[in-house]
């Protein structure tokens, strides 16, 4: 589930839920050197004096712990680097509602917050855990796909080709033609071929109506 937070006076205001989760995570998962040494001392104090643990075993345990700690720190640093590289990028975050329904949040990553060895992405003034990142989208791709969707939706609102009139539909058809002609080749790739074919038919029918209007046989 994504973690969200309120931003006030430029600072993250942690909610009671986040505070509880943070404490639980800190208490349940973190094992620093001090805690390890305390356990090691307790083990030495309570060992069987007849079969004491060798110094080599203690050194091995500490070395293993240090290795695990180093790997954990490395993973945390990699997460921070990855999260930082997303600043300014358009992303989709997958969240889960209280009833278990998957939902998506789309927006630009404004900045990154790093707390309790976890990276959080700020999107629309809310924080989301890096682990909830679903998709990173190129802005040009996103704009092109959005424009294509809006273009097709506008075309779909026109009546059947045979039913269009100059007074009601000419402006929309002209705007669609202007929009399509101003698109780059990359943007045009997002417009389906059948959509372009339909626009051509509307344009041809509009030309017939305009020609008829000039001769006095108009369809208004």
CA atoms within 13 A on the CB side of 124: 8
Tens of pLDDT along 138-162?
889 889 999 999 999 999 999 999 9
pLDDT confidence of residue 21: 39
Does the pLDDT at position 12 exceed 50?
A: no
pLDDT confidence of residue 220: 53
pLDDT confidence of residue 181: 96
Predicted TM-score (pTM) above 0.85: no
Higher-confidence position of 49 and 42: 42
99 phi/psi in degrees, rounded to 5 = -95, 10
> What pairs with residue 107 in β-bridges?
91
Rounded Cα gap, residues 220 and 213, in angstroms:
9
Tens of pLDDT along 61-120?
656 656 655 555 555 566 677 777 888 889 898 888 778 888 888 889 999 888 877 888
CA-wise closest residue to 202 among 156, 151, 164: 164
The stretch 170-195 carries a mean pLDDT of 96
Rounded Cα gap, residues 14 and 115, in angstroms:
11
pLDDT confidence of residue 34: 62
Share of the chain above pLDDT 90, in %: 33
Rounded Cα gap, residues 5 and 122, in angstroms:
9
Tens of pLDDT along 77-92?
666 777 778 888 898 9
pLDDT band at 4 (very low <50, low <70, confident <90, very high): very low
Does the pLDDT at position 28 exceed 50?
A: no
pLDDT confidence of residue 216: 74
């Amino acid at each position: 589930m994504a973690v969200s937070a309120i931003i006030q006076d430029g600072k993250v205001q942690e909610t009671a839920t986040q505070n509880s989760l943070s404490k639980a995570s800190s208490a349940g998962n973190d094992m620093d050197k001090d805690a390890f040494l305390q356990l090691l001392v307790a083990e030495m104090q309570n060992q069987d004096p007849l079969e004491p643990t060798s110094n080599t075993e203690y050194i091995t345990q500490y070395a293993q712990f240090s290795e695990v700690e180093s790997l954990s720190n490395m993973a945390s640093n990699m997460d921070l680097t990855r999260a930082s590289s997303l600043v300014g990028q358009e992303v989709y975050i997958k969240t889960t509602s209280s009833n278990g329904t998957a939902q998506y949040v789309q927006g630009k990553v404004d900045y990154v917050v790093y707390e309790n060895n976890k990276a959080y992405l700020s999107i629309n003034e809310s924080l989301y855990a890096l682990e909830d990142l679903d998709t990173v989208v190129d802005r040009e791709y996103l704009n092109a796909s959005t424009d294509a969707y809006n273009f097709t939706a506008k075309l779909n609102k026109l009546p059947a080709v045979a039913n269009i009139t100059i007074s009601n539909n000419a402006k929309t058809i002209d705007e669609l033609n202007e929009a399509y002609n101003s698109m780059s080749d990359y943007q045009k790739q997002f417009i389906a071929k059948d959509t372009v074919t339909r626009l051509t038919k509307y344009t041809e029918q509009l030309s017939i109506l305009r020609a008829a209007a000039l001769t006095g046989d108009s369809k208004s």
